[in-house]
Amino acid sequence: MTNQPIGVIDSGVGGLTVASELMRQLPKERLIYVGDTLRCPYGPRPKEEVIAYTWELVHFLLKRNIKMLVVACNTATAFTLEDLKSKLDIPVVGVIQPGARSAIKVTKNNKIGVIGTEGTIHSRAYPDALHHINSTIEVYDLACPDFVPMVESGVLSGSHAMQVVEGSLKPLKNHFEIDTLILGCTHYPLLRDAIQTVMGEHVTIISSGEETAREVSTILGYQKKLFQGNRKPRHEFYTTGKIEVFQNIARDWLQTDMNQVRRVELEEVVNYL
Protein backbone atom coordinates (compact mmCIF):
# COMPACT_ATOMS: atom_id res chain seq x y z
CA MET A 1 0.00 0.00 0.00
CA THR A 2 2.77 2.49 0.85
CA ASN A 3 4.33 2.09 -2.61
CA GLN A 4 1.14 3.15 -4.42
CA PRO A 5 0.98 6.61 -6.02
CA ILE A 6 -1.08 9.62 -5.01
CA GLY A 7 -3.58 10.64 -7.69
CA VAL A 8 -4.12 14.30 -8.52
CA ILE A 9 -6.88 15.61 -10.80
CA ASP A 10 -7.60 19.06 -12.21
CA SER A 11 -9.47 20.71 -15.05
CA GLY A 12 -6.13 21.66 -16.58
CA VAL A 13 -2.68 22.87 -15.54
CA GLY A 14 -3.76 24.73 -12.40
CA GLY A 15 -3.50 21.66 -10.19
CA LEU A 16 0.23 21.67 -10.84
CA THR A 17 0.41 24.35 -8.14
CA VAL A 18 -0.85 21.71 -5.71
CA ALA A 19 1.32 18.97 -7.23
CA SER A 20 4.38 21.19 -6.77
CA GLU A 21 3.66 21.54 -3.06
CA LEU A 22 3.03 17.80 -2.71
CA MET A 23 6.40 17.12 -4.33
CA ARG A 24 8.08 19.59 -1.96
CA GLN A 25 6.51 18.30 1.24
CA LEU A 26 6.45 14.61 0.29
CA PRO A 27 9.60 14.14 -1.82
CA LYS A 28 9.46 10.33 -1.69
CA GLU A 29 5.86 10.00 -2.83
CA ARG A 30 4.98 9.24 -6.45
CA LEU A 31 2.29 11.31 -8.16
CA ILE A 32 0.03 10.55 -11.09
CA TYR A 33 -1.48 13.80 -12.37
CA VAL A 34 -4.19 14.12 -14.97
CA GLY A 35 -5.40 17.50 -16.25
CA ASP A 36 -8.49 17.78 -18.44
CA THR A 37 -7.09 20.61 -20.53
CA LEU A 38 -9.26 19.68 -23.53
CA ARG A 39 -12.44 20.59 -21.65
CA CYS A 40 -11.02 23.31 -19.40
CA PRO A 41 -12.32 25.53 -17.85
CA TYR A 42 -14.83 23.76 -15.63
CA GLY A 43 -16.04 26.98 -14.00
CA PRO A 44 -18.70 27.98 -16.56
CA ARG A 45 -19.95 24.41 -17.06
CA PRO A 46 -23.20 23.04 -15.57
CA LYS A 47 -22.80 21.17 -12.29
CA GLU A 48 -23.86 17.85 -13.85
CA GLU A 49 -21.17 18.17 -16.53
CA VAL A 50 -18.45 18.92 -13.96
CA ILE A 51 -19.52 15.87 -11.94
CA ALA A 52 -19.41 13.62 -15.02
CA TYR A 53 -15.98 14.87 -16.12
CA THR A 54 -14.58 14.57 -12.59
CA TRP A 55 -15.64 10.94 -12.34
CA GLU A 56 -13.95 10.22 -15.68
CA LEU A 57 -10.69 11.59 -14.26
CA VAL A 58 -11.17 9.60 -11.07
CA HIS A 59 -11.79 6.33 -12.89
CA PHE A 60 -8.65 6.88 -14.96
CA LEU A 61 -6.64 7.09 -11.74
CA LEU A 62 -8.40 4.25 -9.95
CA LYS A 63 -7.19 1.93 -12.71
CA ARG A 64 -3.67 2.93 -11.70
CA ASN A 65 -4.17 1.75 -8.13
CA ILE A 66 -3.77 5.07 -6.34
CA LYS A 67 -3.74 5.13 -2.52
CA MET A 68 -5.20 8.63 -2.20
CA LEU A 69 -7.03 11.15 -4.38
CA VAL A 70 -6.37 14.89 -4.36
CA VAL A 71 -9.04 16.95 -6.13
CA ALA A 72 -6.85 19.91 -7.11
CA CYS A 73 -9.71 21.81 -8.72
CA ASN A 74 -11.94 24.13 -6.71
CA THR A 75 -14.98 23.72 -8.96
CA ALA A 76 -14.72 19.92 -8.87
CA THR A 77 -14.15 20.06 -5.11
CA ALA A 78 -17.27 22.17 -4.63
CA PHE A 79 -19.47 19.86 -6.71
CA THR A 80 -18.10 16.37 -6.07
CA LEU A 81 -16.01 16.10 -2.89
CA GLU A 82 -18.65 14.67 -0.56
CA ASP A 83 -19.86 12.21 -3.20
CA LEU A 84 -16.30 11.04 -3.87
CA LYS A 85 -15.62 10.61 -0.15
CA SER A 86 -18.75 8.53 0.32
CA LYS A 87 -18.15 6.23 -2.64
CA LEU A 88 -14.37 5.68 -2.70
CA ASP A 89 -12.50 3.41 -0.30
CA ILE A 90 -9.38 5.61 -0.37
CA PRO A 91 -8.86 9.00 1.30
CA VAL A 92 -10.02 12.01 -0.73
CA VAL A 93 -8.82 15.57 -0.14
CA GLY A 94 -10.10 18.74 -1.82
CA VAL A 95 -8.65 22.25 -1.85
CA ILE A 96 -11.44 24.37 -0.37
CA GLN A 97 -11.27 23.48 3.33
CA PRO A 98 -7.45 23.79 3.45
CA GLY A 99 -7.65 27.19 1.74
CA ALA A 100 -10.29 28.40 4.18
CA ARG A 101 -8.25 27.29 7.19
CA SER A 102 -5.15 29.05 5.89
CA ALA A 103 -7.02 32.32 5.38
CA ILE A 104 -8.53 32.31 8.86
CA LYS A 105 -5.08 31.76 10.36
CA VAL A 106 -3.66 34.94 8.83
CA THR A 107 -6.51 37.48 8.65
CA LYS A 108 -6.28 40.34 11.13
CA ASN A 109 -9.54 42.18 10.41
CA ASN A 110 -11.74 39.13 9.58
CA LYS A 111 -12.42 40.48 6.10
CA ILE A 112 -11.51 37.84 3.51
CA GLY A 113 -11.82 38.02 -0.26
CA VAL A 114 -12.26 34.98 -2.48
CA ILE A 115 -11.70 34.87 -6.22
CA GLY A 116 -12.57 31.84 -8.32
CA THR A 117 -14.41 30.49 -11.32
CA GLU A 118 -18.12 31.09 -11.81
CA GLY A 119 -18.90 27.56 -10.65
CA THR A 120 -16.90 27.84 -7.44
CA ILE A 121 -18.26 31.29 -6.56
CA HIS A 122 -21.88 30.36 -7.29
CA SER A 123 -21.55 27.20 -5.17
CA ARG A 124 -20.87 29.35 -2.07
CA ALA A 125 -18.38 26.67 -1.01
CA TYR A 126 -15.82 29.11 0.38
CA PRO A 127 -18.21 31.28 2.42
CA ASP A 128 -19.73 28.08 3.82
CA ALA A 129 -16.30 26.68 4.71
CA LEU A 130 -15.13 29.95 6.28
CA HIS A 131 -18.32 30.50 8.28
CA HIS A 132 -18.27 26.89 9.47
CA ILE A 133 -14.98 27.71 11.20
CA ASN A 134 -15.73 31.33 12.19
CA SER A 135 -19.21 32.77 11.70
CA THR A 136 -17.99 36.36 12.21
CA ILE A 137 -15.81 36.36 9.07
CA GLU A 138 -16.90 38.83 6.38
CA VAL A 139 -16.51 37.19 2.98
CA TYR A 140 -16.39 39.07 -0.31
CA ASP A 141 -16.25 36.79 -3.34
CA LEU A 142 -15.74 37.53 -7.00
CA ALA A 143 -15.76 35.40 -10.14
CA CYS A 144 -12.78 35.97 -12.46
CA PRO A 145 -13.70 33.99 -15.60
CA ASP A 146 -10.87 35.39 -17.74
CA PHE A 147 -8.06 34.01 -15.58
CA VAL A 148 -8.21 30.29 -16.39
CA PRO A 149 -8.28 30.63 -20.20
CA MET A 150 -5.35 33.04 -19.96
CA VAL A 151 -3.31 30.62 -17.83
CA GLU A 152 -4.17 27.65 -20.03
CA SER A 153 -2.91 29.60 -23.06
CA GLY A 154 0.40 30.20 -21.28
CA VAL A 155 -0.01 33.94 -20.63
CA LEU A 156 1.21 34.31 -17.04
CA SER A 157 2.85 37.75 -17.04
CA GLY A 158 3.35 40.86 -19.11
CA SER A 159 1.14 43.84 -19.96
CA HIS A 160 -1.84 41.80 -21.16
CA ALA A 161 -1.89 39.65 -18.02
CA MET A 162 -1.67 42.75 -15.83
CA GLN A 163 -4.48 44.44 -17.73
CA VAL A 164 -6.78 41.42 -17.35
CA VAL A 165 -5.96 40.96 -13.66
CA GLU A 166 -6.41 44.66 -12.89
CA GLY A 167 -9.75 44.83 -14.68
CA SER A 168 -11.04 41.66 -13.06
CA LEU A 169 -10.06 42.59 -9.49
CA LYS A 170 -11.22 46.21 -9.64
CA PRO A 171 -14.59 45.60 -7.88
CA LEU A 172 -12.89 43.75 -5.03
CA LYS A 173 -10.06 46.22 -4.59
CA ASN A 174 -12.13 49.39 -4.77
CA HIS A 175 -15.07 48.51 -2.53
CA PHE A 176 -13.88 46.22 0.28
CA GLU A 177 -11.15 46.51 2.92
CA ILE A 178 -9.98 42.90 2.83
CA ASP A 179 -6.60 41.97 4.30
CA THR A 180 -6.60 38.41 2.97
CA LEU A 181 -7.40 37.03 -0.49
CA ILE A 182 -8.00 33.35 -1.20
CA LEU A 183 -7.04 32.21 -4.68
CA GLY A 184 -10.07 29.97 -5.04
CA CYS A 185 -8.84 28.31 -8.20
CA THR A 186 -5.62 26.33 -8.50
CA HIS A 187 -4.82 28.12 -11.77
CA TYR A 188 -4.63 31.48 -10.04
CA PRO A 189 -1.30 31.00 -8.21
CA LEU A 190 0.30 31.05 -11.66
CA LEU A 191 -0.82 34.71 -11.78
CA ARG A 192 0.16 35.39 -8.18
CA ASP A 193 2.69 38.15 -8.89
CA ALA A 194 0.19 40.12 -10.96
CA ILE A 195 -2.57 39.60 -8.39
CA GLN A 196 -0.30 40.73 -5.54
CA THR A 197 0.74 43.84 -7.47
CA VAL A 198 -2.85 44.81 -8.16
CA MET A 199 -4.16 44.12 -4.64
CA GLY A 200 -1.17 45.65 -2.84
CA GLU A 201 1.35 44.29 -0.35
CA HIS A 202 -1.02 44.80 2.58
CA VAL A 203 -3.21 41.95 1.32
CA THR A 204 -2.03 38.43 2.15
CA ILE A 205 -2.51 36.05 -0.77
CA ILE A 206 -3.61 32.52 0.15
CA SER A 207 -3.02 29.57 -2.13
CA SER A 208 -4.43 26.28 -0.87
CA GLY A 209 -1.57 24.13 -2.16
CA GLU A 210 0.59 24.25 0.96
CA GLU A 211 -2.23 23.47 3.38
CA THR A 212 -3.62 20.75 1.08
CA ALA A 213 -0.24 19.02 0.92
CA ARG A 214 0.03 19.23 4.70
CA GLU A 215 -3.37 17.55 5.03
CA VAL A 216 -2.34 14.80 2.60
CA SER A 217 0.82 14.19 4.62
CA THR A 218 -1.13 14.05 7.89
CA ILE A 219 -3.73 11.60 6.57
CA LEU A 220 -1.20 9.27 4.96
CA GLY A 221 0.94 9.37 8.09
CA TYR A 222 -2.01 8.56 10.35
CA GLN A 223 -3.05 5.66 8.09
CA LYS A 224 0.57 4.46 7.86
CA LYS A 225 0.54 4.76 4.08
CA LEU A 226 3.57 7.01 3.61
CA PHE A 227 6.35 5.48 1.53
CA GLN A 228 9.03 4.26 3.93
CA GLY A 229 12.00 3.59 1.66
CA ASN A 230 14.49 5.81 -0.14
CA ARG A 231 13.83 6.77 -3.74
CA LYS A 232 13.57 9.60 -6.20
CA PRO A 233 10.05 8.98 -7.50
CA ARG A 234 9.16 9.09 -11.17
CA HIS A 235 5.95 11.04 -11.52
CA GLU A 236 3.43 10.59 -14.34
CA PHE A 237 1.60 13.46 -16.02
CA TYR A 238 -1.35 13.12 -18.38
CA THR A 239 -3.34 15.69 -20.32
CA THR A 240 -6.47 15.42 -22.45
CA GLY A 241 -5.32 18.35 -24.60
CA LYS A 242 -2.16 19.53 -26.33
CA ILE A 243 0.99 18.08 -24.81
CA GLU A 244 3.27 20.98 -25.76
CA VAL A 245 1.24 23.66 -23.96
CA PHE A 246 1.00 21.48 -20.85
CA GLN A 247 4.73 20.74 -20.95
CA ASN A 248 5.77 24.37 -21.23
CA ILE A 249 3.69 25.53 -18.28
CA ALA A 250 4.54 22.48 -16.18
CA ARG A 251 8.26 22.76 -16.87
CA ASP A 252 8.32 26.41 -15.76
CA TRP A 253 6.21 25.79 -12.66
CA LEU A 254 7.69 22.51 -11.43
CA GLN A 255 11.26 23.16 -12.56
CA THR A 256 11.59 19.55 -13.67
CA ASP A 257 11.89 17.48 -16.84
CA MET A 258 8.45 17.19 -18.44
CA ASN A 259 9.31 15.01 -21.41
CA GLN A 260 7.12 12.21 -20.09
CA VAL A 261 3.78 14.02 -20.43
CA ARG A 262 1.31 11.79 -22.24
CA ARG A 263 -2.02 12.52 -23.87
CA VAL A 264 -4.98 10.47 -22.74
CA GLU A 265 -8.57 10.03 -23.91
CA LEU A 266 -10.91 9.55 -20.98
CA GLU A 267 -13.73 7.00 -20.96
CA GLU A 268 -17.28 8.07 -20.29
CA VAL A 269 -18.48 6.83 -16.91
CA VAL A 270 -22.11 5.75 -16.79
CA ASN A 271 -22.40 4.68 -13.16
CA TYR A 272 -20.52 6.66 -10.54
CA LEU A 273 -19.75 3.52 -8.53
- Same domain, residue pair 104 and 123: yes
Domain boundary pick from 208, 225, 255:
208
- Does a structural domain hold residue 268? no
The answer to whether 186 is annotated as binding is: yes
Longest Cα–Cα distance in the chain: 53
Residues 6+ apart with CB under 8 A from 189: 14, 17, 183, 207, 209
The answer to whether 75 is annotated as binding is: yes
- Same domain, residue pair 13 and 78: yes
Per-residue confidence at 1, pLDDT binned at 50, 70, 90?
low
pLDDT of residue 175: 85
Listed residue (182, 185, 147) closest to 164, CA to CA: 147
Strand partners, 180: 112, 204
User: Domain of 120: which CATH number?
Assistant: 3.40.50.1860
- Does a structural domain hold residue 270? no
Per-residue confidence at 2, pLDDT binned at 50, 70, 90?
confident
Catalytic residues: 73, 185
Strand partners, 49: none
Indicate if the pLDDT at residue 263 is higher than 80. yes
- 20-38 per-position pLDDT tens digit: 999 999 999 999 999 999 9
- 141-168 per-position pLDDT tens digit: 999 999 999 999 889 899 999 999 999 9
pLDDT of residue 239: 96
- Same domain, residue pair 88 and 217: yes
Contact 161, 194 (CB under 8 A): yes
- Same domain, residue pair 86 and 215: yes
Q: Give helix 74-87 / helix 47-62 axis angle, nearest 10°.
A: 60
- 228-237 per-position pLDDT tens digit: 888 889 899 9
Q: Which domain holds residue 132?
A: 96-208
- Does a structural domain hold residue 273? no
Indicate if the pLDDT at residue 259 is higher than 70. no
**Runs of H (alpha helix) within 107-158:** 118-123, 125-133, 147-152
- Same domain, residue pair 105 and 185: yes
- Same domain, residue pair 142 and 73: no
The answer to whether 10 is annotated as binding is: yes
Contact 1, 67 (CB under 8 A): yes
- Same domain, residue pair 12 and 57: yes
For the chain, the domain total comes to 2
The answer to whether 11 is annotated as binding is: yes
In angstroms, the CA 240 to CA 91 distance is: 25
Torsion angles phi and psi, residue 125, rounded to 5: -65, -40
Indicate if the pLDDT at residue 269 is higher than 90. no
The answer to whether 42 is annotated as binding is: yes
